């Protein structure tokens, strides 16, 4: 958005502190902005494509359960594991932007993401690279959010299905998303304008055995990320800091 709006955004960092009650978000913007430019940046942050999923309920999830197998499955009741406390920090890699021969921006560039969390015995860390980049290298951020929803769904089902019961979770946008520059530009225009579009999402659970569909649907309703999508209650704090970039970046 900053590139297309000719806003002198020199750098951006984002941080998320994960607590039991929710997530605290901090975004740092570096550059010399006018008041209008700063307002546009702040609104874009508030209405970004991924954030809208978990804070403004921009997904309408429809569940479907398919049973494919003759053997009955005796459901169990186990407590859902709590979300571990941790932190996520992300830094935009401006130098990874890719431009066409005429100088127009084709790919926004990548993001360096670091995650840390406390497991049962030690502090764990990992890093990943994501962003709008060349096809086949890294998926854009919204599919990564869908992957998180699928993983959370699988974890929820593991709490009610007996081991080693087999199942599959499938997510599909209705209708299927059309990729490309036009979709990115529409998402950015919506963020700039504070527009929330509701996206229908079909979540299908395929079970290799017979069970009560109502119980599976009940487990899906209690799955944490689905509740967050419905209620839009992920953020418990949000802060935007504007300043000049540091002279030395490590």
Kindly report the three-state secondary structure assignment for every residue of 176-218. CCCCCHHHHHHHHHHHHHCCCCCEEEEEEEEECCECCHHHHHH
pLDDT of residue 5: 85
Round the average pLDDT of the chain to a whole number and report it: 86
* Residues 116, 86 contacting (CB under 8 angstroms): yes
Using alpha carbons only, how large is the chain's radius of gyration in Å?
A: 20
pLDDT of residue 89: 95
Task: Indicate the domain borders of the chain.
Answer: 9-243
Whether this prediction's pTM lies above 0.75 is answered by yes
pLDDT over threshold 60, residue 249 = no
What is the b/e burial string over 87-112, where b = at least 16 CB atoms within 10 angstroms of the residue's CB?
Answer: ebbbbbeeebbeeeeeeeeebbbbbb
pLDDT in tens, 161-171: 888 888 999 99
């Amino acid at each position: 958005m900053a590139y297309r709006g000719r806003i002198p955004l020199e750098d951006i960092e984002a941080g998320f502190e994960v607590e039991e009650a929710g997530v605290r978000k901090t975004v740092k913007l570096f550059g010399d902005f006018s008041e209008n430019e700063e307002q546009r940046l702040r609104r874009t942050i508030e209405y970004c494509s991924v954030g809208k999923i978990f804070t403004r309920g921009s997904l309408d999830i429809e569940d479907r359960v398919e049973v494919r197998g003759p053997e009955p499955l005796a459901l169990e009741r186990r407590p859902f594991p709590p979300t571990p406390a941790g932190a996520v920090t992300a830094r935009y890699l401006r130098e990874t932007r890719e431009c066409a021969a005429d100088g127009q921006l084709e790919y926004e560039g990548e993001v360096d993401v670091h995650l840390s969390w406390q497991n049962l015995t030690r502090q764990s860390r990992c890093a990943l690279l994501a962003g709008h980049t060349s096809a086949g290298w890294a998926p854009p951020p919204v599919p990564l959010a869908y992957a998180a929803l699928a993983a959370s769904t699988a974890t929820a089902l593991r709490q009610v299905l007996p081991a080693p019961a087999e199942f599959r979770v499938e997510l599909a946008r209705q209708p299927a998303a059309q990729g490309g520059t036009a979709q990115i530009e529409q998402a950015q225009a919506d963020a700039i304008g504070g527009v929330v579009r509701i996206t229908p999402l079909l979540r299908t659970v395929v079970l290799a055995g017979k069970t009560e569909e109502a119980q599976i649907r009940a487990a899906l309703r209690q799955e944490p990320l689905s509740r967050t999508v419905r209620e839009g209650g992920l953020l418990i704090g949000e802060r935007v800091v504007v300043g000049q970039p540091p002279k030395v970046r490590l």
